[in-house]
Amino acid sequence: MYRASATWEQEFRFEGKGNGGVAVAVDGDGKAANSPMELVLVALCGCTGYDVVSILKKKREPLKGLEVSAEAEKAPHSPRVYTAIKLLYRISGKVSRKAAEDAVRLSAEKYCSVSAMLSKTARITYEILLENQ
């Protein structure tokens, strides 16, 4: 069973915790910490990033670093769900283009649970930048 909680601190700030018990600051208006919707994007970046690292390691690709960033658009009216998300994968190391593309595609189509949920309301696209070192 997965569990999470958010305990109100002050103003619109909460302390969130998941099963791991690690606290994360959440701010409803995004002034003092990440907003809940920003954390959804962080979760997407972390989820797909995990997949890509795992796949590239299994392929024995010489991965040196990975940064996944996201830009998103929201619906104009409530509930303001994400309608479009663009992911940018910055991959460093002498990783082959094919291996990187395969890893990102597998994450998007098969493994990333966050992506699977968000794709119900948002068109998710991606770009891969290989920074060979």
Mean pLDDT score across all residues of the chain: 96
Report how far residue 50's alpha carbon sits from residue 11's, in angstroms, rounded to the nearest whole number: 34
Provide the pLDDT for residue 85.
98
Q: 77, 6 in Cβ contact below 8 A?
A: no
According to DSSP, residue 107 is labeled I
Provide the pLDDT for residue 132.
81
Please give the average per-residue pLDDT across 11-30, as a whole number.
95
Band of residue 94 on the pLDDT scale cut at 50, 70, 90? very high
Give the tens place of pLDDT for each residue, 28-84: 999 999 999 999 999 999 999 999 999 999 999 999 999 999 999 999 999 999 999
65: phi then psi, degrees, rounded to nearest 5: -165, 155
Domain ranges of the chain: 1-34, 36-131
- pLDDT exceeds cutoff 70 at 133: no
Looking at domain 36-131, what is its CATH homologous superfamily? Answer: K homology (KH) domain (3.30.300.20)
Report how far residue 71's alpha carbon sits from residue 31's, in angstroms, rounded to the nearest whole number: 19
Q: Which residues pair with 27 in a beta bridge?
A: 13
